[in-house]
Chains A and B, each alone.
Chain A
Amino acid sequence: AQKITQTQPGMFVQEKEAVTLDCTYDTSDPSYGLFWYKQPSSGEMIFLIYQGSYDQQNATEGRYSLNFQKARKSANLVISASQLGDSAMYFCAMREGPGGGYQKVTFGTGTKLQVIP
């Protein structure tokens, strides 16, 4: 079974609008962490946001917020006020087990976001 599922291979959003990128996960470990990374066409992976399984509040980082619904095992990324520079691949990822030291992370298949002027 897939540990991380991203069902949207591609998304379009109008500039200045908000967009939600979907991510569901599968784990039986009570301690885990969820990440979102952005990969522009240049290839580097840019860390965006992190949500721990025990975090009570949804994570936010500037224009990025993570809609964490633990019971549904979903961790959707919300980008507010989209900018042209947001056009990229977005990967959801999960670390199982407590953080610190060794951190094996599993990635989803990614969503290609294109922001339209």
Chain B
Amino acid sequence: GAVVSQHPSRVICKSGTSVKIECRSLDFQATTMFWYRQFPKQSLMLMATSNEGSKATYEQGVEKDKFLINHASLTLSTLTVTSAHPEDSSFYICSASWGRTEAFFGQGTRLTVV
């Protein structure tokens, strides 16, 4: 199957700082990447969809100025959590697709804001 690499896998940051999470498709060109958030013991909630070279489409209730998404190339999308606060602590996971039926997921990033 296709490989999607997400980095870092874990990050702890101080309240008020920004954190960048990378999502890379290693062996295919991802025309679309998705960013999800998962709270403990809950399902994945789609935050935004990004297509290479265009602005991300955010789901209702997701602050686009807080969660900055960049999809500058066909193999890389980044999610930046700006001015992070403890309530932003969560598991963030990306997926990538190139028009096939299924999307492939990264390993996820566990963010803890202290």
Number of B residues, CB within 8 Å of A = 25
Taking A45-B93, A47-B1 as contacts, is the C-beta distance between A102 and B106 under 8 angstroms?
Answer: no
Taking A50-B101, A52-B101, A102-B32 as contacts, is the C-beta distance between A45 and B95 under 8 angstroms?
Answer: yes
- The stretch from A18-26, A68-76, A78-86, A105-113 touching chain B is A105-113
CA distance A33 to B101 in the complex (A): 8
CA distance A33 to B97 in the complex (A): 14
In chain A between 89 and 117, which residues have their CB closer than 8 angstroms to a CB of chain B? Answer: 91, 99-110
**B1 near A91: Cβ-Cβ < 8 Å:** no
Q: Which residues of B contact A37 (CB under 8 A)?
A: 105
How big is chain A's contact interface, by range? 20 to 34
Within 8 Å by CB of B105, from A45, A99, A108, lies A45
A-B contact pairs, 26 of them (CB 8 A): A35-B102, A43-B91, A43-B93, A43-B107, A43-B108, A43-B110, A44-B93, A44-B106, A44-B107, A47-B1, A47-B102, A47-B103, A47-B104, A47-B105, A50-B102, A52-B101, A91-B43, A100-B99, A100-B100, A101-B31, A102-B51, A103-B97, A105-B103, A106-B46, A107-B44, A109-B42
Contacts from B to A (Cβ < 8 Å): 1, 31-32, 34, 42-44, 46, 49, 51, 91, 93, 95, 97, 99-108, 110
